[in-house]
Amino acid sequence: MQRRIVVPLVVVAVLSSLATVAATSIIGGGSPQAPTVAAQSVQPEPITTATVPDMVARVNPAVVQINATQTQQVSSPFSGFPGFGAPSTQSVGVLGSGFIITSNGEIVTNDHVVNNAHNIQVTVLGYQNPFPAKVLGEDYNLDLAVLQIQAPKPLPYLTFANPADTVAGEPVVAIGMPYGFSHTVTTGVVSALGRPLTIQSRTYRNLLQTDAAINPGNSGGPLLNYQGQVVGVNTAVSTQGQGIGFAIPSSDVTQALPALVKGQTPPEPWLGVSITDVSSAPQVPQGYTSQEGVIIEQVVSGGPAAKAGLQAGDIILSFNGQPTQTADQLIEDEVNTKVGQTVTLTIWRNGSTMTVNVVLGTMPASGS
């Protein structure tokens, strides 16, 4: 299988050189001034191409730039020599994006923007100086974090789209700070839903794919519908092609927010299997002739599927009565279910079909 190269969308610089980047991206000037938008959510408007510039003008004050300092391990060039090569640490500057979700200054961004970070600074349109921010909560698996800033006046904020209304082909707008170019606007469509992806040590199970141009520095910024509602959080981009970007869908964000704002880890539903499409499997169980369905490649010992009696080689045909045609579809169904909920799977095994009830567990932590 060809290896896909996908990277998170942060700009990282050795701390000594970050000032140069930051100097080109400070927003505003002169004496401090209050935001030009009153403390209210950005209200949706009917979808027409003519209103896109107006929508961008309305939402821009709620999109912010995030600068932070992260401590990262650095490998030694002498790591292959006995007695030498102990890893060291260095401070690096990180540039990302975010968006305000409450008038009192709660902000959504990616966890990889602020993970292991200190001196987090948030630049808000209309204010000369950035605000110091604290992390209210973060989740490594979901790659989401919520920050808090204290502004002198209530802030404009964005609202989330109904996830059921987000479909492939829907026009979208990405806003962020790629390479420090503040409030860069690009347009495209939702290319696909429910994309699973592994980037470094993070496994994403349910990403939106978009062809709206996004680049390093866009991490944590909003992907919006033409009404100005958030459909996703821009997160990663493929380096092997053009127009292949990924965002965390609004459904995952809104489910996680109640826990994140309290500093808790959001429970993430987990079936406990590794799967692949029947149509792309190197080997299909003898006697199965359809090209639809999902093969279980591995069952995690002690996980929910194992406890329910599922086995490697079983083919999942449906999830709660809905046909399961691809692994992407099964993953999307899984993440849109709640921890502790019992789901009914129809499976094919040794020439027969049967139903199995599985109580979804909590996804184990995959990062620090």
Catalytic residues, by residue number, are 112, 143, 219
Among 257, 274, 142, 248, which Cα is nearest to 193's? 248
Give dist(CA 37, CA 57) in Å, integer. 10
* Residue 131, helix vs strand vs coil: strand
Question: CA 100 to CA 175: how far, in whole Å?
Answer: 13
| Side chain identity, residue 252 | D
d(CA 74, CA 15): 14
What is the spatial distance between Cα 193 and Cα 181, in angstroms, rounded to a whole number? 28
Q: In this structure, are residues 126 and 28 in contact, taking their beta carbons and an 8 Å threshold?
A: yes
Q: Which 3 state secondary structure label does DSSP give 234?
A: strand
- DSSP for 65-133, written as a single string: EEEEEEEEEE--TTTTSTT----EEEEEEEEEEEEE-STT-EEEE-HHHHTTEEEEEEE-TT-SSPEE-
Q: What are residue 14's DSSP bridge partners? A: 92
> Rounded distance, CA 296 to CA 103, Å?
46
Using CA atoms, how far residue 351 sits from 159, 273, 313, 354, in Å, is: 49, 21, 12, 10
Q: How many CB atoms lie within 10 A of CB 301?
A: 7
How far apart CA 164 and CA 319 sit, in angstroms, is 18
